[in-house]
Structure 1
Amino acid sequence: MASGFRLVFALSQLLLLFDLSQGSIVGICYGRNADDLPTPDKAAQLVQLHNIKYVRIYDSNIQVLKAFANTGVELMIGVPNSDLLPFSQFQTNADTWLKNSIMPYYPATKITYITVGAEVTETTGNVSALVVPAMRNVLTALKKAGLSKKIKVSSTHSLGVLSRSFPPSAGAFSSSYASFLKPMLEFLAENQSPFMIDIYPYYAYRDSPSNVTLDYALFQASSEVIDPNTGLLYTNMFDAQIDAIYYALMALNFRTINIMVTETGWPSKGSPKETAATPDNAQTYNTNLIRHVINNTGTPAKPGQKVDSYLFSLFNENRKPGLESERNWGLFYPDQTSVYNLDFTGKNAVDMNTDANVTSSNGTTTWCIASSKASEADLQNALDWACGSGNVDCTPIQPSQPCFEPDNTVSHASYAFNVYYQQNGATDIACSFGGSGIKVDKNPSYDSCIYMTAGSNKTIASSNTTAISSTSSATVKGVPAWIFTCFLMTFISFLFIS
């Protein structure tokens, strides 16, 4: 009996260690309100190439679900507002949807969240009353399928659900939405689902530049904004808006609900009056947001608290109505080229000069090869993309061709990466490959395998090769392998001590 207790205790502590090791995540919203986007298959390849692990879509499109099968990317899918009525009226509608639209693709396609309705308080017509009944029916359908513990159900909201957001400690939900929000929050608390909010400091600055400074909106403020009620100091609007939600939840005695940001970002282009919608500002906001989130900085009211966030959006969407900025939130153009540089890991320096981001600034020739720290799967995904959507001629790495040997993924990826890099201006972003590429100033050419340089098809080079280390820092759910091993051995020893 005692040994059984020790086993349970040891395993629970080990699982706790894993949970604490998990930092906040940054995902991407994959909107498709456009007529010039690449196919879902190519979009999925692009996502993998840039090492993006979390994607939100706004429906349950079959082609998209198929495209992300076996990629390891976690999907947040949606039940559109137009489906709220049938989903709320009859349980069989939710059951049938799950059976026909989700189950055939799960778990090959990793689905972790279902959003039921999106920003319903912003829509015309009174559909908010339909949301919670529809959420309950979706949850019941998941329970019948044995998936209620693996897929969380929630709904997304705009900041318009608040009647007050400043100072943050005065954050309060609008009384006009009370009948909708109370059962919603009860549902979230009961099922340990997050409160999902779409946050856009850009709009706060654009609509009220006399009250909000650009630096404050971009995470670059040199001075703090003080909450007079708490004395807490705020250096950016993102944190202030998150804490306003926290205080609004606490005012209604919902203290255990976590917050997830399901949309945030900055447009790269706007109408003449939208002077802050520029590539530089978009790059600055998203770069600082990523670093802020993945470091588990938290907020002044909740330091260290996880705030999973999704950037809006993957592509520019040319069919979105409204001002010019509405069509220019994408990180990528429809042709899959980057609007500006962005490092999703938040760990590397990003060249903020998007117009002249050339790596050979000192006149030194550089090449791009596969990083020794990249996993085999990431290298293969990047190689497949380079030889496909990246338009690299990969003939030289085919059997009997000059660069086929050594026949391994690192060598083949290095050749393909370099061709793409040189053909696309030898810029930092052209050697990114989601963190799988690395620049070198030593010619990787060997024997008859010649690595090209910018401005030429091929360059004769020496037979010296660039050494590629096989050392990698293995981790288990974010914990270094050696720490995991030490803890595991300690727990095993503990079990057998009598």
Structure 2
Amino acid sequence: MRSLAPVVRCLLLVTTLHGIWTVRAFTGTYGVNYGRIADNIPSPEKVVSLLKAVKIKNVKIYDSDHDVLTAFKGSGLELVVGLSNDHVKEVNASEDRAMEWVKENVQSWLPDTHIRGIAVGNEVLGGGDQDLEAALFGAIKNVYKALSRLQLADLIQISSPHSQAVFANSYPPSNCTFNDSIFQYMKPILDFFSNIGSPFSLNIYPFIAYKSDPQHIDLNYALFQPNHGILDPITNLHYDNMFDAEIDAAYAALDAAGYGKMVVEVTETGWASSGDEDETGASPQNARTYNYNLRKRLFKRKGTPRRPKIVIKAYMFALFNEDSKPGLSSEKHYGLFKADGSISYDIGLSGLSTWHASSSSHSLKDFSTRGWLWPSSLVLATCIWIVLLVQ
């Protein structure tokens, strides 16, 4: 009888490697959105140096710009790329186009550029473009099919960020439900994401809620400052900040729709440091207070009153002020940093004095960039072949 030892060793290797290649899109609890709708911000190479200096590992961009992907190569930073709204319809219409996009913007950059997720569209549902809304699920599905065929579905997490417009109401949190006008598009996405284990991605802005009704919303409640908070009369849960309340409103909507096991991930949140005259609350002090307290809250690695065991993860919006963004003045002033790389306000980030230094000549590559990111099926097949060969 042949010894099973080689098989056991091989299976242990598969198990060990599984822990390496099954990568979550988010390491830790804190990340940042790297928007680039500006003509005066630092180069991607300098941005990588900055991110490493301040020890922010999770980064989300809104496209798949190859200059950015090149700059991130060998950095060790975890990157979520975006399939922008401009591409959603074409990717929905063609599986071949989805495959081309994934090969060109994801597969060809692995493993040296640590792409860990693809955000398909941004705030599509509730945006008013019904053709785009109708195309979103098909685009998501086609991108996932491409990842599966390339044996990358276990490496790359797929998501689609939503705005608060997908909800019919959010107060009190337990009363939140999905907006009827978009649920026909939302349901197949939720079904699909439930099956593949993707999170419900939500953009949360207490600043926008506060400036829309400053007479009735306590600024301290929006800024994580001491306040009396609110009591949800249905669940009897107490909330001392709006951030947690809005997350639990999303959980309530998911529960009501039958998706109680889905995890909410915050893909954008921030506070404007400046705005138009009627944008109440937009100031450097309030922005500093919100972002400092948000970071402190995330580092506690705790959940919300409704989901106390599910640690909240969030991407800050945004890394830089973006002077070319259209719309309200506040849209140009969400950055932690100004265009010249100086801080907009101090939230306690360390390492800022070193970020102007040139990048090290030694890339931060771990052994996962040396060909170890194999799908488990290939690893297992190889192991079995080796075992049979040596018997």
Distance 1:87 1:294 in 2: 37
Instruction: Give the alignment of 1:76-475 within 5 angstroms.
Output: 76-126=80-130, 127-343=132-348, 385-388=355-358
User: How far did residue 124 of structure 1 move?
Assistant: 4.1
Aligned length: 346
Indicate how the Cα distance of structure 1 residues 257 and 344 shifts in structure 2: closer, same or farther if over 3 A, else same: farther
User: How far did residue 325 of structure 1 move?
Assistant: 1.1
Distance 1:23 1:29 in 2: 15
Instruction: Specify the code of the residue in structure 2 equivalent to 1:257.
Output: M
Q: Which residue of 1 aligns with 2:77?
A: 73
**SS of corresponding position for 1:176:** helix
CA deviation map 1:229-280 (0-9, x unaligned): 0110000000110000001001111111111100000011112223411111
The answer to whether the Cα contact below 8 Å between 1:23 and 1:296 also exists between their aligned partners in 2 is: no
Q: Which residue of 2 aligns with 1:51?
A: 55
Distance 2:75 2:222 in 1: 34
Indicate how the Cα distance of structure 1 residues 150 and 382 shifts in structure 2: closer, same or farther if over 3 A, else same: farther
Same amino acid, percent of matched pairs: 39
Indicate how the Cα distance of structure 1 residues 49 and 259 shifts in structure 2: closer, same or farther if over 3 A, else same: same
The answer to whether the Cα contact below 8 Å between 2:27 and 2:57 also exists between their aligned partners in 1 is: no
Match of 1:64 among 68, 72, 78: 68
User: How far did residue 388 of structure 1 move?
Assistant: 4.1
Distance 1:321 1:122 in 2: 19
Larger radius of gyration: 1
CA deviation map 1:365-386 (0-9, x unaligned): xxxxxxxxxxxxx9xx985x44
The answer to whether the Cα contact below 8 Å between 1:78 and 1:117 also exists between their aligned partners in 2 is: yes
Q: Which residue of 2 aligns with 1:29?
A: 33
The answer to whether the Cα contact below 8 Å between 1:24 and 1:293 also exists between their aligned partners in 2 is: no
Q: Which runs of 5+ in 2 are unaligned?
A: 361-391
Indicate how the Cα distance of structure 1 residues 66 and 96 shifts in structure 2: closer, same or farther if over 3 A, else same: same
Instruction: Specify the code of the residue in structure 2 equivalent to 1:64.
Output: V
Indicate how the Cα distance of structure 1 residues 59 and 312 shifts in structure 2: closer, same or farther if over 3 A, else same: same
Distance 1:136 1:386 in 2: 42
Indicate how the Cα distance of structure 1 residues 386 and 125 shifts in structure 2: closer, same or farther if over 3 A, else same: closer
Distance 1:333 1:58 in 2: 19
CA deviation map 1:472-492 (0-9, x unaligned): xxxxxxxxxxxxxxxxxxxxx
**SS of corresponding position for 2:233:** coil
CA deviation map 1:82-102 (0-9, x unaligned): 111110011100111111222
Distance 1:281 1:382 in 2: 24
Distance 1:386 1:76 in 2: 24
Distance 1:141 1:132 in 2: 14
Indicate how the Cα distance of structure 1 residues 161 and 122 shifts in structure 2: closer, same or farther if over 3 A, else same: closer
- The TM-score, its normalising length taken from structure 1, stands at 0.66
The answer to whether the Cα contact below 8 Å between 1:52 and 1:344 also exists between their aligned partners in 2 is: no
User: How far did residue 23 of structure 1 move?
Assistant: 8.0
Distance 2:230 2:252 in 1: 17
Q: Which has the higher contact order (CA 8 A, sep 6+)?
A: 2
Q: Which runs of 5+ in 1 are unaligned?
A: 346-377, 390-408, 410-498
CA deviation map 1:341-377 (0-9, x unaligned): 12358xxxxxxxxxxxxxxxxxxxxxxxxxxxxxxxx
The answer to whether the Cα contact below 8 Å between 1:74 and 1:110 also exists between their aligned partners in 2 is: yes
Distance 1:94 1:382 in 2: 42
Distance 1:236 1:23 in 2: 24
